[in-house]
Homo-oligomer: A and B are copies of this chain.
């Protein structure tokens, strides 16, 4: 609601450059250790042995660096989910894995890298582009599962595919979205399982 902060990529200078990687490496460590807020751009500069001004040759803002780190995080989450889904059997099994892994992977991030998780929460609440992309990729994966289930007769076919995909995603949101998830922790894991059950019942042909 705040602002239409689509927050575009915000990169700068050469896309492939060793210094860009050094910045990201330093940021990953500093952000994870001290948190996004407590890490200054000068800290990153000192870490890589260049001046602060030079960093702005590669990123047009501190937030842009945050987005790069956040992209790594949610990218990791997505990879875990995709892999778990890939190892599934039928569409029902895949859907269960989709929901379960999305939750467990995110919770794990919360407990192992709390500081990075905080960036994800901030990114989500501020509608960073990187989060929107994550949601779209997740919904894409979900849609694939739904298609498969519809084709082989596991799932009903009357409801428009888009609506099914969206409504499932909304229903699972308290267990996927970092902002919601940290407020759902005390319900885990039962609530997540039960909602997944509800979703599967709604998909019955």
Contacts and interface: CB of A to CB of B under 8 A. Distances in A.
Interface of A: 1, 125, 156, 159, 163-164, 166-168, 170-171, 173-174, 179-180, 183, 185-187, 191, 194-195, 197-199, 201-204
Contacts of A204: 201, 204
Contact of A198 (B180, B194, B199): B199
Given A164-B198, A170-B194, A204-B204, 7 more contacts: A1-B186, A167-B194, A167-B195, A170-B195, A171-B195, A171-B199, A201-B203
B159 A201 contact: yes
**Copies assembled:** 2
Nearest to A182: B1
A164 B195 CA distance: 9
A77 B185 CA distance: 26
A179 B184 CA distance: 11
A197 B170 CA distance: 12
B183 A125 contact: yes
Contacts of A186: 1
Nearest to A204: B204
Contacts of A202: 198-199, 201-202
Nearest to A197: B167
A6 to B, nearest CB: 13
A195 B187 CA distance: 20
**Taking each of A164, A173, A185, A197, which has the highest tally of chain B beta carbons within 10 Å of its own beta carbon?**
A173
A170 B199 contact: no
A179 B125 CA distance: 13
A163 to B, nearest CB: 5
